[in-house]
A = this chain, B = another copy of it.
């Protein structure tokens, strides 16, 4: 996976602080070059074992499409029939609650898949996928993907491993929602994001995605206000640095202790 250079131009921290020091959203066109497509497909964890010829054979089954920030890729309740792979950008996976609040289940980076793995006629997507940034996604019909799995059993095994890992993550989330304080849940959400989207900067581990207090609240099962209060406290304590739509983790060790419920000592 090609390491996108983290351009923190104008990173003169103190004085003029760039609000969202991530990939400039306007720079990437909302579509993938053919070249990039093959590169993405080849880089997919579950296609790792396939050779160039095989990838090239699978390639035409995918359709690409660009999305603008905030655009819905599919919505809960839509008839489910496609599997997607993030090529560039970040995709939010969420579920709506009865009370109108949303729950953010995952924030996907390039190379991760989402949508309908298996062709189940009459099924609906249980969740909603929304582009968090400018996104290019590759889509394949569930039927076609199933045929790929039929044809390349090792791919199916790799997908199974990923699925199991995600199940473990979700169950861990259940555990934490069942018995953690607001502070612990926020700390855990930040660490999870940091592990997946973090890039080392002089500010700390910067989370490479526009992340609002609402997003964080939805990840941690809290209200925006509570998330904000917790974030303020964490910042006062020096565990994080944060501003409008961005967060950097300044003290991973203490964040981990906090998330695990151990003594707060610094």
Could you list which residues of chain A lie within 8 angstroms of chain B, going by C-beta atoms?
Answer: 95, 97-99, 101, 103, 105, 117-118, 126-127, 146, 149-150, 153, 156-157, 159-161, 163-164, 166-168, 170-175, 177-180, 218, 221, 260-261
Can you spell out 26 A-B residue pairs with CB atoms less than 8 angstroms apart?
A95-B172, A95-B174, A95-B175, A97-B175, A98-B179, A98-B261, A101-B178, A103-B174, A103-B179, A105-B171, A105-B175, A126-B168, A127-B171, A146-B157, A149-B157, A150-B157, A153-B153, A153-B156, A159-B160, A163-B164, A170-B170, A173-B174, A174-B177, A174-B221, A178-B221, A179-B221
Copies in the complex: 2
Among A97, A105, A170, A175, chain B packs the most CB atoms within 10 A around the CB of: A175
**A157 surroundings in chain B (CB, below 8 A):** 146, 149-150, 156
Interface secondary structure of A, over-half rule: helix
Contact of A156 among B156, B167, B168, B260 (CB under 8 A): B156
6 further contact pairs, Cβ within 8 A, besides A160-B163, A170-B170, A174-B221: A95-B172, A97-B180, A98-B260, A98-B261, A126-B172, A153-B153
On whether the beta carbons of A103 and B178 are closer than 8 Å, the reply is: yes
Residues of B within 8 A of A126 (CB): 168, 171-172
Q: Give bound CA distance, A175 to B233, whole Å.
A: 26
| A244 CB to nearest B CB, Å | 24
Contact (Cβ within 8 A) A174 B105: yes
Determine the distance from Cα of A81 to Cα of B211 in the docked complex, in whole angstroms: 38
Q: Considering only CB atoms, which chain B residue lies closest to A163 in the complex?
A: B163
Question: In the complex, what distance in Å separates the CA atom of A174 from the CA atom of B156?
Answer: 26
- Candidates B99, B103, B160; contact of A117 at CB < 8 Å: B160
